[in-house]
Each structure stands twice: as C-alpha cells, then as structure tokens.
Chain A
Amino acid sequence: MDTDTFRPLVGGSVEEATSQDKRKTKGLVMAEAIHCAIARAMEEDSAVVVFGEDIARNGGVFRVTNGLLERFGAFRVRDTPLSESGIAGIAVGASIAGLRPIAEIQFFGFSYSALDQIINHVARMRYRTRGKLACPIVFRAPYGAGVRSPEHHSESTEAIYAHIPGLRVVIPSTPKRSYGLLLAAIRCNDPVFFLEPTRMYREPREEFLDDGAALPLDTCFVETEGNDVTIVSWGAMLKEVREAARLLKEKGIGSEVIDIATLGATWDSETVVRSVAKTGKCVVVHEAPFTGGFGAEIAATVSHKAILSLFAPVERVAGLDIPPPYFQNEWHYMPSVTSVMRAVNRTFVNAGQGSIL
C-alpha cells in the first residue's frame, strides 16, 4: 500500500517530529499501531492512564494493550470490574481530577449502558461549568462487522454518538491514521470516542514513523484525487471503496476518495463540498444502517451547499436497516464493492453521462 497517497488535506496542522523521536516501524497493522500510540502517550504524559475489562494482565481481547501493564504498572494500566457504565463514570471523575483516561469498551455493542454518563456528563461537563471543568477522555472500542463474531459484537451505531454535541467520533482506516488520530484524540482536551474497525485490526500492514506526530482531528483525508465522482466513507468500508476506486480507474473514471475520519458536529464538510463542486457527483458509503446514519448528515450538507454543482442526487450506500445479522448473513447486510460500483453508476446515469457498468 502506497503511503504517499494517504495525506491530510488542508486544515489542521501535523506536528513536526523531532529527529530524536524518529523511530521507523517495520510495518504495523492497526492493532499494533494503536498500541504504539497508547504507549507513546503514556510515556510522554504521566496523567495518561488506561483502564477497561481484561486490558491489563490479558492485554486486551485483541491484544492491543499487551505489555502495557509491565511497562507502566498496575495503577496506570488497570483491569476494571465488569461494568461499562462504571467505566464511563469513573472516567468522568478521573478526568476532572487531572488524569487523561483512555477507557476501553470491549466491544462497541456493549457501550450503550455508558450512554447515560457519556451524553449527560462527558460531553457537557465543559459546557455546564463554562469551561472550568472538562473531560479529556478517549473511549476506545472495536466496532463493525466482517470478522464472523457472535451477536452484538458487530455494531456500527456511531451515528448515535456523532449526534451528541460536545463529543467527537474518530474512526481511522489505516494503521498510520490510527496512530496519528489516536495521539490527537488523547492530547485533545475534549472527549473523543475512538472506534477501531475490527476487520482492519490485522490487515493491512503499513510502514510509518513512531515519532509521536499527531494527525489533525476535524479534517478529512483525501486519499485519491479525481474529477469524476466523490466517494466519501470512513472506517472499514474504505477497503471496499478503495477497491471500487481502483476498478473505476481501470475504466478511466477518476474518483476522489475521502476518508471523513472525524464524525460529529465538527466534521470537515468544507473538503467534501469543495470536492463535489469539482466532480458534481457524490456517493457516501457506510456500514451503519441507512436511516439516520451519519451519511444522511453528509448527504444533506452536500445537497444544501453544493446543490448547484450536483449533476445527480447524492447516493448513500449503507447497511440495511436491520441489526447486524448473525455472521452467516453479515456480508449481505453490509455494502460491497458491487453495491458501491452500482451507486457510482447511478450518479453517472442520473447525470446523463450514461452507464459505466
């Protein structure tokens, strides 16, 4: 995978790495990259702590936190009792009292009992105290389907969290982006829910520097530039989108692939609108169910701000409006390369440019 194609567009700043810190990696998968980011953050700032179920001695069920206990000790790397609502409540108190908690939720589908604390306190502590107190917490969870998990382990309900004022939902789609965005989330003084696409944990591998450089939040990543269609996505669906872009390129069609990365009220709409002003056609792809998904927010904004540039309605390719089915059916409910290609085709047909398939 060519790392040169993954570069952030304008907006936000990427911290300069010092020469002492440049540690080249051998090529890491996302789970390892996330581990590096957490370890670096804990090394740099003694206020950073990690807690969650089975994260200390067991190193996390995906081994992301493996080895941190030995390195940083049992106070800063702590196994919690079995309660997500407790994990969230503890994180609130700990963050107000000066720690920077990285609170792991074992699977995104188990986060809902934490919603009370997250909506009612985490996201609004700064607001209700006029800035006197805040919750610099990072919640982390594996999310999404495609790894043949049991029921409830494949949720993609990020739209619920993206809807909460004061909260950012940050979703990486490459190892390098997971490293840089997680560092940004940890250093950010606002709360972040960091969602880690489960089926991207172990592949692909990517080389990058473990140099402590953060990537910007609230910024889209334009992966490929193109003039013919804008394809917007986040998380594991980028795998299908990248493949579709490759197939389209073979047909002579240039797609501008955009990874949103930060969801919520602070999302970078300008980059997407600017892209659609160029291409006139937009397809949004997400794994989450269609209705009320964050794709609806993107489609509404694009339809509003780029209406005069659009040659076709904004297409949304999304999960069916069902809970993630048991894994025998999971590939039928998620978008596929084919469904993305069909959506792109619809934009060409609606634009009067004829079918591309």
Chain B
Amino acid sequence: MTGFTVKIPFTEYIGSDGEAIVSLPEWAKNLQKPIEMYRLMVLVRHLDALAVNLQRTGQLGTYASSLGAEAVDTGIGFVLKDRPETLFTPYYRQYAELVAVWGAYAFLYPLRYWGGDERGNMFADGKRFLPFSVPIGTQITHAVGAAYARQVRGEKGAVVAICGDGATSRPDFSDGLVFAGSWKLPVVLVINNNQWAISTPRSAQTAAYMLALRGIGYGVRAEQCDGNDPLAVYEAVSNACMRAEEGKGPTLIEAISYRLCNHTTADDAKRYVPEGELEAAWRKEPICRMQKFLEKAGVWNDILEEELLSHVKGEVERVKNKYLSGLEQRPAEDIVEHLYEQTPSALIAQTRWISSEERRNSHGH
C-alpha cells in the first residue's frame, strides 16, 4: 500500500507586527523595492478611496474596491513592471497592477470602466493586460489560451491570471488548470483568497482543506503565500513566472488576504461578517505592517510619510479632476460601432431608433 505526502510551501517575510520572520530575498535586501512597494500601496489605497467617494456622491457607478488587496496587487504589479513580457488577466478589482506599469493616471481606466464607458477597458492591449472580466473566473481560461498562443509561437513571457476564492468553484477554474496542466503551459494562477465571495465565507465555498491543494489534484505545482506581504507575493509570483518561462509548466499560488471592504459599493458586509472579524483583519493589513517594518529598518520616518501623503494627495486630486473633466463625447452612431470589424449598414440604420434628444445628451465622462 503506498500513499504520498504533499508539501505546500508558504512564502512570508514580514509579519503583521512589522517584524521580519525570515531573512529577506536578495532583491529586497537593500530595501529599495520594498520602499517603492509601500509607496505604491499607499497611492492605490488613496485612489481607491477616491473611487468609493465618487460613487457615494453619484459621480461613479457601482465600484469594486481593492481595500485589503494592496499587497497582492502590488506584488504582482512589480512583477509585471520587472518582466514586461508578462501578460496579466485581471478580474475586476485589480488597480495597483495598472498603476505599477503605467503610473497614477492609469487609474482613469477603472474610473471610466465603473463610470459606464467602454473606453475604460482600453488599457487592455493583449500584450500586458486583458480587460476586466466580470463573469467569475472566465479570465482564467483566457490566460491559459494566451499562454497556449505563446507556446505555439515560441514567444517569451508568462501569463499571470488572478481570481478570487469564489472563482475556484467555477468551471473555468477547473478548465484552466486542466488545460494548463495537460498542455504544460506558461501560466501562473494567483488565487486572491480574501475569505469572502460577496457574503459566502471561504469555509462555505468549498470543503477543500486548502485552496492551493486543489492544484495538486490537477497535477499543477501549488503553493501559498501571505497575501498581506507584497514581498512574499512578488517572490512567489516572479519565481513561478521564471519556472513558466523555462518550460516547467504552470503554478497555482494561493495568496491569503482579507477583504477589508464591501464586495462592491452596492454591498453591505456588516450584514454578514461576524462581529470582531473585520477589526482583527485590520490588525494584519498590509500597509500598516510595511510602514512599521520600514521604520524599524531605519529607512522610513514621519517626514517621509508626510511627503508621501502630500504627493499622493496631489496625484489623487489630479486624477479626480481629469476624470471629472470627462472624455470626448461619442456620436450616437458609436453605440453600434466596434461590434463587427465593419459595422453593417443595417446596424447603423438602427441608430435612427435613438431619438435626437438622446443623441444630444449622450455622455462622455
């Protein structure tokens, strides 16, 4: 009778109290990148707060906040920055990745997206980013298909996909791992396990003991990391990208984090999150521990913090003003454009159904 033992590695560096648990990886030892990561996390948290505020004041539609996910998104964002041949397939809550690659103004895309304008998706160039994907988990097979294309064409670069804990129940999660494992594709799938799928807690989502273990079932290398530590996320994801590029196949990484916000601005998590759990999660959140760590390491202080906040507030203000000044108005015919490569005349004729008043009032934000 034989059995086998499975080992799921867990990557962590900085504890919730700001103390280094293990020695830092080589690339972090001079603390330059950790400082940049901290700065990005602070910027994104403030941009995110701007978006929530815009929604609450009727200037943005329903919005999915990334509060609590800053470390996961920043870790991945820096991988994308350092490995520009990498393609990233988000779901709908990923903003730091865009800002890491393209700067604060990249946040205009999510604002326009949640503001109801398709032009918000145009950050998707097919090479570094795919568009936001609302049907849960469907971006996973897109990532795997893109990895297949890279394999066929002999193109360099891994494909990083992210999904939530809820998405692991979806058929696309299974499809993605089945195809990626079977065809040995250069994919890195990150599960942002923030413990909640709207109101469904992780424990009710699946009886699986650990989400990462599910990768083993598909023959895919699997590991976990502390999703509140951007260094851990960066290390795990970049190593997985390297393995993928070397032809060693896909990796599943479960990042353990906590959703500190509502599912979206249309949700009220107070209805279902148990008493005290949110407060406990805040004590582990990524920005506070990074600040403590950098202070203890002697590379951060109150003055630098003030400078950073002042800079961030300026960036946020500029982004807000740019968003509110709006995009150019689109002509009424634009509503039927871009569905086919060449818009059929029958479709253009249908725009006559839009009243001239509606044409005059068509918004650009």
Contact = CB atoms under 8 A, between A and B. Distances in A.
Interface of A: 49, 75-76, 78, 80-81, 83, 85-86, 88-99, 113, 116-117, 120-121, 124-134, 165-166, 188-190, 218, 265-266, 269
A266 B346 contact: yes
B150 A85 contact: no
From A89, A113, A125, name the one whose CB has the most chain B CB atoms within 10 angstroms. A89
B179 A130 contact: no
Q: How big is the B interface, by class?
A: 35 or more
Interface of B: 87, 89, 118-119, 121-122, 124-126, 130-131, 133-135, 138, 140-153, 159, 171-172, 174-176, 178-179, 182-183, 337-341, 344, 346-347
Contacts of B125: 132-133
B149 A98 contact: yes
Given A86-B179, A128-B131, A265-B346, A92 B145 contact: yes
Max chain B CB contacts within 10 Å: which of A95, A165, A266? A266
Q: Which 9 A-B pairs have the closest CB atoms?
A: A89-B141, A93-B145, A86-B175, A97-B149, A93-B142, A90-B145, A97-B146, A93-B146, A94-B145
Interface majority SS (helix, strand, loop, mixed), chain B: helix
Contacts of B340: 126, 166, 190, 266
Given A81-B179, A98-B153, A116 B145 contact: no
Contacts of A83: 171, 174-175, 178-179
Contacts of B138: 89, 116-117, 120-121
A126 B152 contact: no
A89 B142 contact: yes
A93 B347 contact: no
A90 B347 contact: no
B341 A134 contact: yes
B142 A265 contact: no
A16 B337 CA distance: 30
B148 A94 contact: yes
A94 B143 CA distance: 8
B175 A89 contact: yes
Contact of B135 (A49, A90, A120, A266): A120
B344 A132 contact: no
A81 B141 contact: no
Contacts of B121: 128-130, 132
Nearest to A90: B145
A93 B89 CA distance: 10
Contacts of B182: 81
A89 to B, nearest CB: 2
A287 B118 CA distance: 38
B109 to A, nearest CB: 11
A33 B337 CA distance: 34
B178 A86 contact: yes
Contact of A86 (B126, B134, B141): B141
Contacts of B87: 97
A269 B118 contact: no
A237 to B, nearest CB: 25
